[in-house]
Chains A and B, each alone.
Chain A
Amino acid sequence: MSPVSFDPRLPPENNVSPTHPLAELAALLGGILLAAVLLTAGATLALDWLVPHLPASLEQRVFSGLWPAPEAGAGSQQRDPEQATAEALMLRLASHWPDNPYRLHLAVVENDEVNAFAVPGGLVLVTRGLLKRVTSENELAFVLGHELGHFHGRDQLRTLGRGLVVGLTLQALAGTAASGLPALATRMTELRFARAQEEEADRFGLALVEAEYGHVDGATAFFRRLAETRDQDPTGPGNAWLSTHPLGSARIQALEAQAREQGWPETGSLTPIAWRSASARH
């Protein structure tokens, strides 16, 4: 049929690597995840070592510029009485922390959820929902003392640093391998302190409460109430604190044990909330 005689061999098939794609996937994914884990762990260790060496004044200078500006009209006359009372209480508690390096501030977040945060640089954020739901000053004092405990442990810096490292690692991963994994992992590390950090902050907070009132009554009452309302209403506003501050009965027990060990009275007279009594007089 063809006018030309031509009888070549077929070329060898050597242009495709023989590796099975699934084997390659396993090797790549395993290696990269291992590297990410090692990197994060290494960064966490490095931060734990580094953070105590950073002076609080430096932290304050760097971060205070990032705080939200005080709301307009927050002058001395129109000052929110709840914010003023809570801040004064926090400063009173902080006076029992002898070598406190921070200039502390407190701001109220207009949110009905119950939560409080320690922001790097010495700012404590408290939600309006929390202020509405505390029934005594002692309850609020423990929440604030707990947040001061995070400053004492420099937890915000560590967590921020870790979040940064994790975020950057995930960013590098997400840049090439598009998937929902990064979003998920960022959520999990979102401003959550390690359990040990929470317990340490609890211990510190309880010590401040005892120093202020001479007893620790009321300190855990608020948490107990939150836990109860969560059982009744799992999606209620009280849940926010619990979702960022995992609260088992173990934590309450640890606080009670601490009080017993130190010989701190567990009952005493509760101080009413100043702004409540003020508005009651009207």
Chain B
Amino acid sequence: MKKLINRPEDAVKEELEGIAAAHADRLRVHTGLNYIVRADAPVRGKVAIVSGGGSGHEPMHGGFVGMGMLDAACPGEVFTSPTPDQMLDAAKAVNGGAGVLSIVKNYTGDVMNFEMAAELARGEGIEVEQVVIDDDVAVKDSLYTAGRRGVGATVLAEKICGAAAEQRRPLPDVAGVCRKVNANARSMGMALTSCTVPMAGKPTFELGADEMEIGIGIHGEPGRERRKLAPAHEIVEALATAVVEDLPFSCGDEVLAFVNGMGGTPLMELYVVYNELHKLLEGRGIAITRNLIGSYITSLDMAGCSITLLRLDDELTALWDAPVNTTGLRWGV
């Protein structure tokens, strides 16, 4: 294992100390219980938005704390859900009296920990709503699985709900916007390489030099299908077709296209992917009216990408365009 770390068990703690040292102007980092809040928290009268999940997906979620996006992020250990006591403390630190919206990615651990945290917070008189994001079309949603995973749509939901909260919309409204984003977004990812969890010290799975994994999650969990490596246009066709046909997105739709890097893929390749996606959607009469290209929801050092499409209307477009000032996303300020 080659990593820029000291000891594997200290990586998350030292990452948080680095964030605190770098961004004291915008963020407050609580070490010990490990959570990040915006420096001006709590914002009176505003719905507070809390998210969290395992570490290793940076910039998600800590990089999205700030004006126009999250009020707090709770990082767990690498690929491990944060804990209820941590989430409860974060919720108390950012609750400005208008309640708390938790944005939860659909993983068994995250959902159970956030459920326990919500039970605790309600016990202390804090109004809490939870929205579970489950946009990954690679996973079959049925009674016999844990349901679809939450992936790229999480980033879009955090941005858009953050804007809705800044408009001082009440909690049920902000939660409604979150559900609307989830209902209109679909994603699928692929990997060219495995990732290496620091504490494990070796790649989570082995991929041959001429192989790729289609339908990968964001935790190095293998996907549903291993295929021979193919050119970008074939990979994009496989991912985008599954995404488009699932919702389905249809001719005349306006979409936000999010091409995301998994952590070990250069921006050059993401633009190659975007170019193929743009051509494919144009051919289907789907217009990309907003885009986001870069590594925003990653899987440590994994090489690969995911494609997320969000069907836009005027409300979602305006909320996407609203100012945001975080270390990961920043515009309009």
Whether chain B is bound by chain A comes out as no
**Residues of B in contact with A (beta carbons under 8 Å apart):** none
